[in-house]
Structure 1
Amino acid sequence: MPRVPDDPALSPYTGWTRAHWAELAERLLLSARPFASPGHARVSFPGRAGGYGADVDGLEGFARTFLAAGFRVAGEGGDDPLGLMEWYAEGLATGTDPASPERWVRLDEHGQAKVEAASIALVLHLTRPWLWDRLDDGVRERVIAYLAPAVGGEYPPINWVWFQIVVEQFLASVGGPYEPGDIEAGLALTDGFARENGWYADGAERSYDHYAGWALQFYPLLWTEMAAGEPAADERRPVYLRRLERYLHDAVRLVGADGSPLLQGRSLTYRFAAAVPFWLGARYDLDTPSPGLLRRAASGIARHFADRGAPDGKGLLSLGWHGPWRPIAQSYSGPGSPYWAAKGLFGLTLPAGHPVWTAVEEPLPVERDDYQVVVPSPGWLVSGTRADGVVRVVNHGTDHSHPGSDLADSPLYARLGYSTATSPVLAGPYAGQPLDQSVTLLDAGGEPSHRTGFDTLLAQSLPTGTAAGASRWRAHWVKPDSCGPDHGSGRSGRVRLGPWLHVLSLVRGPWEVRLVRVGAPDDQVEEAGGRLRVGGWPLPSDIPHAGTAARAGADPVAGETAVVVNERVWSCVFGGASLDVGGVTSADDASPLAPWTVVPWRATSGPARAEVWHEAVLHLGAGEPAERPAVTWAPSGVRVVWPDGAVDDFDVSRLLR
């Protein structure tokens, strides 16, 4: 397909217009057709089968591309020159035919069918005049029968509950079976997911990730459309809208100037699905953020991937981030899974005359100013810097678990830092043995401790605007069980308990002052631990030991600085007097961003002293830092003088009470 020309007047930051989004949707849809079964019921993309098998993969391929088709036609008021509705109508007829060799996996045969059924139901709702109303009676009856096992079905108490609600609400709208009690119970459960400032947790655990936007904001408001006029929907709609509006004020601050979403949390292979909440804000005409800012965020995300190989030259989405990189997938991911990215095309449901398409793009927060923002629910200290366009998150509240647990750390959730310019180490030995963005005690064999199950102590802005966060946990070592599915959370296993660790982060611009206190051994300690290690930002690199990293080498060396650089940013760890050795560790094929991931770190040369504060200063930003924060101590606590002249005094004793 010919490339749509950029429009720098309407879209001065991305160049993208509605025509670019339409082209992206049509490219994905037309490129998928060669992989469809004869009756269009299954779309089986190339590649190794997913963990749930080829039958589920084919259903995913249908249902997830169906989202793109439905959004495209709905936004055109039924205009359908590609014959999308006719093509998918044939798939509906074939997939719901029990006698067809292409029949779909039923909802009572495999749980994943419950996920895909929600996409099917949602698109049937959005395109009802042009698809559902034109199906013959027999096909409609078969679709109802296919969806009916959702009624009374068991759904995990996470975002999946919305799949049951959406399917049953659609069934109710077309005269099918449904159980009001299922919907009422599901709504009550999801009310419990709501957190401060419009955020949602994905269930009872501290699970904060992109699902907060592309699922937990998305389905509630679409359900209120489906159930419009019913008291439960009409009462909840303004509540959902208030939550979305407040959430978006944080969400726009999590997008990098290059359009990269935050590389944190599971299911990252859904890529530009991260644009969903911005389109929601436009669809429901929120007062803020403005339409031009919402489109800037959404188009920036999509273009970030489109310019970097997703979709690829054949128009296909692989399991990966930019290009193919299978380790990013969870065990439930198959070759059709990445097409949940089609949710990011939701903006196409809005017609060409909508303000989100006609407003001039406005800059992202990170393109306007430097900022530090505290997001209390996930316990994040968010820092954006205009000079490099990077957004960083220092994490003292998210671990995909709950306080007091003793799992191994998930690199997707339990690291101390995430950014739009780096990826946590996700593959190889350091994925399971925390190195990057970590504070660990090393046992006699050099194995690092874990932090999952920590207590959040603090997440607040100081009077100067500096963001402060703190957490404490009992260091523990885990020999993980070798079996079990990978849904992004940490592994359980044989645990050895160590001493308590307290960590305080003071964040300003590209800097974090990180203070660490090792507790004295108590009667629960099975492993006292030895050296204390502080790992810095993991930098993507085309070569090991990028730039000045070669000075440090892989082995511990004396001095106060460990540094790595790439063409965009510097990652540095400056150690205080007690963190007297350091180094740089290179991990091969450990993240989707580059062939190598290079991590600077500082450590104590011997066993860490207990009940004293150890200090490190971490940096991620453009250019070699000319001046770093100065840290001094007094009986009342710590004083930090920042390079911009701001001064913060913090009483560390308040963290020990």
Structure 2
Amino acid sequence: MPTPATDWTRNDWAAFADRLLAGSMAHASPGRGRITPPGAEGGYGRDVDGLEGFARTFLLAGFRIAGERGEGVDHLIDFFSQGIRTGVDPDAPDRWVRIDEHGQAKVEAASLALMLDLTREWIWDRLDAQTQRRVIDYLSPVVGDDTYPKTNWLWFRVVVQTFLRSVGGPWSQADIDADLALHDALVREGGWISDGVERAFDHYVGWALHLYPVLWSRMRGAAELAADRLPGYVANLDRFLQDAIALIGGDGSPLIQGRSLVYRFAAAAPFWVGVIAEVPSLSPGALRHAAARIVSHFAQHGAPDERDLLTLGWHGEWRQLAQSYSGTASPYWAAKGLLGLALPADHPVWAAPAEPLPIDRGDVLRAIAAPGWVVSGTAADGIVRVYNHGTDKARAGSLGGDSPLYARIGYSTATAPLLDERAWTDPLEHSVVLVDDDDQPTHRSALELIGARVLGDGTAWAASTWLAHTLSAKPTPRHGQGLAGDATVLARITTHSVVRGLWEARIIRVDPIEQGPEIDELTLRIGGWPVAGDRPFAQNVEHAARVAAGELTSIIRTIGDDSVEPLVETRLDASPLGAFAAVPYVEVDVDPGAWHTAFVELARTGEAVSDLGLPTIAATDGSGDLRLDVTWPDGIRTSSSVPASPR
């Protein structure tokens, strides 16, 4: 497996892909039009599951066929050619669900169109005329269809219509123009792209919103449509990848944040896209190696499983990680992470020397403006941590429930947010909430970003403010966003994170609102990092809330507050990383208008707050700015002046 000094060869990549293909193809229908891995059917039913299985496996087969230039892969060409003939045959019992029958077919149609284009001379050109007409008929309902969500789905319509245009089918310039304009409207600072009008920053930025523009530009017939746009796409991709490569943990784990995490090593896709687009800032060897580290992380942790199948989960199967629509074949969008196999063996990327990840070279500290993140990676333990003050998958000005996948203050490559039922109604890990007399906690969505930046002296800062509100939740489709419901605002909370290495100094103020409750009668609950494992944990709540799971230690303690009550909560089956999950947290009495301070740590090295000097934190208001003075556990002192509120 790849290490900082080694890498997978192309043969290693091909062997891994062939293992995945063999595992999934074994579950094809008699006509090969559907591939349905075993397990309970997804939220959209077994017919959609089968279409997903074919289309997403076809992605991987298409990469293999194109990368081998059709040589030595006749079994794949024959298998998927037969599946296409069956899929578009209206009388076949295992035909594909049509685009006008179910919306999910719009997603899968894009994979079909991309691979029919990529493998054109080996599959499309050899299909009989009747099957070609049927494929065009199958794809044609996308033209003029305005029901596509205004998200990354825009690219599904663009890709399908571009393929139809190239084979003499119907297409609409107006549709493509509208979709490309929507893409432009979703681009944010630093090459980041929001997945819709909400503040939705997650892995879809890389494996969808940057992937499709580059692949689309290389389709037959796309050149004149994409020529003027491609330089901008590549420039944005280049800027994004400089952040994305810093988000990979030393063990190769991607950040465990956002929806659709069952796609696992699809997180490697944008690095291959960078190779294809020839971005200037990162070398082909660095990009290839980053992709290899991500894919090998999952290979080392049991994905695929002993049946050579990708299950609904992270490492192993854990269905709670899936969204409500996910089926047994949904994880095969992970095939995008093997996109590099579409590059033949004589492509220069395979001979380029591997380069280490940023986390291999030393500690990482950066601020990312668009999602409002501070990134802190520590080379000693390989953990990359993100402190989130700008992402919640919510519309500005709305009041809804916090999604554990988006709205927590902290995410990392070594921890996962709690994802049991309670996690959606009761924010705990990496949260700042008020708790009323009925034990109802508040939520922070939608938050307002104050700012995020590197301060110097090895520290960085991010901050946000929000109307803390309880929620009477209503049933909500589980597509990753928080629950909807009726909100009652209790107060305004403002929270600053000052970050240095494995530590966060968290500074919090609670302010009353007009006609609000007496907030000094509320309890302020501050949560630390969640840890998980397959055995119960070592816990300590004597001076701070501290919990250890394996090599990980999570600690939170308040500074200068005698009312503190350090606590640890343990939950069963709440994390994809282990049967037991635990969160250290503290509860304090609210002092309206005053600054409450807490110290938060996640370490894999055994170094802990209680093992070093006691930290101190002081927050001083003045003329619209906030001065933050911190003495860190190792004795280093830092002082910074930051905005106290949005400007």
CA distance in structure 1 between the partners assigned to 2:194 and 2:298 by the alignment: 26
> Does 1:342 pair with 2:335?
yes
Cα deviation per residue 1:362-382 (whole Å; 9 max; x = unaligned)?
211111111210000000000
Measure how far apart 1:228 and its partner are: 5.8
CA distance in structure 1 between the partners assigned to 2:175 and 2:517 by the alignment: 47
Could you tell me whether the CA contact under 8 Å between 1:497 and 1:525 is conserved in 2?
no
Could you tell me whether the CA contact under 8 Å between 1:366 and 1:389 is conserved in 2?
yes
Q: Which residue of 251, 274, 278 maps to 1:281?
A: 274
Please tell me the root mean square deviation across aligned C-alpha atoms, in Å.
Answer: 1.8
CA distance in structure 2 between the partners assigned to 1:230 and 1:76 by the alignment: 24
CA distance in structure 2 between the partners assigned to 1:281 and 1:84 by the alignment: 27
Could you tell me whether the CA contact under 8 Å between 1:542 and 1:596 is conserved in 2?
yes
> Does 1:184 pair with 2:177?
yes
The residue number in structure 1 matching 2:600 is 618
> Does 1:130 pair with 2:126?
no
Measure how far apart 1:15 and its partner are: 4.3
Change (3 A) 1:148 1:312: same
State the SS of the aligned residue for 2:644. helix
The residue number in structure 2 matching 1:649 is 639
State the SS of the aligned residue for 2:186. coil
The residue number in structure 1 matching 2:38 is 46
Change (3 A) 1:525 1:108: farther
Partner AA of 1:583 in structure 2: L
Q: Structure 1 length normalisation: TM-score?
A: 0.94
Change (3 A) 1:425 1:391: same
Change (3 A) 1:384 1:232: same
State the SS of the aligned residue for 1:321. coil
The residue number in structure 1 matching 2:254 is 261
Partner AA of 1:252 in structure 2: I
Change (3 A) 1:523 1:343: same
**382-391 vs 16-25, which moves further:** 16-25
Q: Which residue of 617, 628, 633 maps to 1:631?
A: 617
Change (3 A) 1:510 1:217: same
Partner AA of 1:516 in structure 2: I
**71-80 vs 627-636, which moves further:** 627-636
Cα deviation per residue 1:583-634 (whole Å; 9 max; x = unaligned)?
1111111010011111011111x4x110000000101112132245432355
Q: Structure 2 length normalisation: TM-score?
A: 0.95
> Does 1:104 pair with 2:96?
yes
The residue number in structure 2 matching 1:601 is 585
> Does 1:573 pair with 2:566?
no
Could you tell me whether the CA contact under 8 Å between 1:228 and 1:234 is conserved in 2?
no
> Does 1:433 pair with 2:426?
yes
Q: Which residue of 289, 293, 298 maps to 1:305?
A: 298
Change (3 A) 1:590 1:82: farther
Change (3 A) 1:437 1:12: closer
Could you tell me whether the CA contact under 8 Å between 1:383 and 1:510 is conserved in 2?
yes
> Does 1:587 pair with 2:571?
yes
Cα deviation per residue 1:232-262 (whole Å; 9 max; x = unaligned)?
4101000000011110000001000111110
**117-126 vs 222-231, which moves further:** 222-231
CA distance in structure 1 between the partners assigned to 2:614 and 2:151 by the alignment: 43
Measure how far apart 1:20 and its partner are: 1.6
Could you tell me whether the CA contact under 8 Å between 1:411 and 1:432 is conserved in 2?
no
Q: How much identity, in percent, do the aligned residues show?
A: 50
State the SS of the aligned residue for 2:181. helix
- Counterparts in 2 of 1:221-240, with a 5 A limit? 221-226=214-219, 230-240=223-233
Partner AA of 2:550 in structure 1: E
Measure how far apart 1:195 and its partner are: 0.5
The residue number in structure 1 matching 2:547 is 564
Measure how far apart 1:428 and its partner are: 3.9
> Does 1:203 pair with 2:196?
yes
Could you tell me whether the CA contact under 8 Å between 1:560 and 1:576 is conserved in 2?
no
**150-159 vs 78-87, which moves further:** 78-87
Partner AA of 1:178 in structure 2: W
CA distance in structure 2 between the partners assigned to 1:107 and 1:317 by the alignment: 26
CA distance in structure 1 between the partners assigned to 2:519 and 2:592 by the alignment: 14
Measure how far apart 1:524 and its partner are: 4.9
State the SS of the aligned residue for 1:345. helix
Partner AA of 1:630 in structure 2: T
Change (3 A) 1:639 1:100: same
Q: Which residue of 203, 206, 212 maps to 2:205?
A: 212
Cα deviation per residue 1:19-58 (whole Å; 9 max; x = unaligned)?
1211111111111222111110011111111000011000
Could you tell me whether the CA contact under 8 Å between 1:569 and 1:623 is conserved in 2?
yes
Partner AA of 2:616 in structure 1: A
The residue number in structure 2 matching 1:352 is 345
Could you tell me whether the CA contact under 8 Å between 2:472 and 2:486 is conserved in 1?
yes
CA distance in structure 1 between the partners assigned to 2:437 and 2:185 by the alignment: 44
CA distance in structure 2 between the partners assigned to 1:45 and 1:635 by the alignment: 59
* Structure 2 portions without partners, runs of 5+: none
Could you tell me whether the CA contact under 8 Å between 1:58 and 1:336 is conserved in 2?
yes
The residue number in structure 2 matching 1:61 is 53
The residue number in structure 2 matching 1:556 is none
Could you tell me whether the CA contact under 8 Å between 2:613 and 2:635 is conserved in 1?
no
Could you tell me whether the CA contact under 8 Å between 2:455 and 2:640 is conserved in 1?
no
Change (3 A) 1:432 1:654: closer
Change (3 A) 1:227 1:203: farther
CA distance in structure 1 between the partners assigned to 2:226 and 2:497 by the alignment: 42
Change (3 A) 1:229 1:488: closer
State the SS of the aligned residue for 1:322. coil
**Paired residues, number:** 637
Cα deviation per residue 1:361-418 (whole Å; 9 max; x = unaligned)?
2211111111210000000000000000000000000000122211110000000000
> Does 1:494 pair with 2:486?
yes
CA distance in structure 2 between the partners assigned to 1:587 and 1:303 by the alignment: 30
CA distance in structure 2 between the partners assigned to 1:361 and 1:230 by the alignment: 32
Q: Which residue of 243, 248, 251 maps to 1:250?
A: 243
**271-280 vs 223-232, which moves further:** 223-232
Change (3 A) 1:138 1:583: same
Partner AA of 1:565 in structure 2: A
Change (3 A) 1:14 1:596: farther
> Does 1:519 pair with 2:533?
no
Change (3 A) 1:292 1:326: same
* Structure 1 portions without partners, runs of 5+: 1-5, 553-558
> Does 1:378 pair with 2:371?
yes
- Counterparts in 2 of 1:445-456, with a 5 A limit? 445-456=438-449
